[in-house]
Homo-oligomer: A and B are copies of this chain.
Amino acid sequence: MVSRTAARLTANTPAIATAHFRAEADPYDPATNPGGYVNLGTAESRLTWDLLAPRLTHALSSSDVHYGPLHGTDGLRTAIAALLAGTWRRPVDPDDLVVVSGATAALDIAATALCDPGEVIVVPAPYYSAFEVDLAGRSGARLVPAPMSDTLDPSVVDDVLTRLRRDGATVRAVAITSPSNPQGHVYGAPVLRELLRVARRHDVDVIADEIYTHSVFSPSPFVSVRDPMLGGADRAHVIWGFAKDFGLSGLKVGVLHTTDPQVRAAARALAYFAPTSTDTQALLRDLLADTAWVRGFLAESAARLAASHRATAGLLDSSGIRYQAPAAGFSFWIDLRDRLTRTDFAAEHELYERILDRARVNILPGGAFAAPEPGWFRLCHAVDAALVHEGITRLAAVLTPAGRHG
Contacts and interface: CB of A to CB of B under 8 A. Distances in A.
Interface stretch (A184-192, A211-219, A249-257, A305-313): A249-257
Contacts of A275: 101-102, 104, 252
Between A70, A115, A277, the greatest number of chain B beta carbons within 10 A of the residue's beta carbon is seen for A277
A32 interface: no
A66 B250 contact: yes
Given A10-B266, A113-B2, A250 B64 contact: yes
Interface string A219-252: 0000000000000000000000000000111111
Interface in A19-51: 20-21, 24, 42, 44, 46, 49
Interface in A49-100: 49, 52-53, 56-60, 62, 64-70
A279 B251 contact: yes
A401 to B, nearest CB: 36
A318 interface: no
B249 A65 contact: yes
A272 B104 contact: yes
B6 A270 contact: yes
A306 B67 CA distance: 23
A278 interface: yes
A252 B101 contact: yes
A68 B279 contact: no
Contacts of A20: 67
A10 B265 contact: yes
Nearest to A274: B274
Interface range for A? 35 or more
Contact of A113 (B3, B42, B277, B280): B3
Q: How many copies does the complex hold?
A: 2
Contacts of A69: 21
A108 B262 CA distance: 23
Contacts of A10: 262, 265-266, 269
B67 A273 contact: no
A65 B250 contact: yes
Contacts of A101: 101, 252, 274-277
Contacts of A263: 2, 6
A9 interface: yes
A60 B60 contact: no
Contact of A1 (B12, B66, B262): B262
Contacts of A21: 69
A119 interface: yes
A7 interface: yes
Contact of A279 (B12, B116, B250): B250
A149 interface: no
Contacts of A269: 6, 9-10, 12-13, 137
Interface of A: 1-7, 9-10, 12-14, 17, 20-21, 24, 42, 44, 46, 49, 52-53, 56-60, 62, 64-70, 101-102, 104-105, 108, 112-116, 119, 133, 137-139, 172, 247-253, 262-263, 265-266, 269-270, 272-280, 283
- 8 smallest CB-CB distances across A and B, nearest first, come from A250-B278, A6-B266, A277-B280, A9-B269, A57-B59, A274-B274, A101-B101, A56-B60
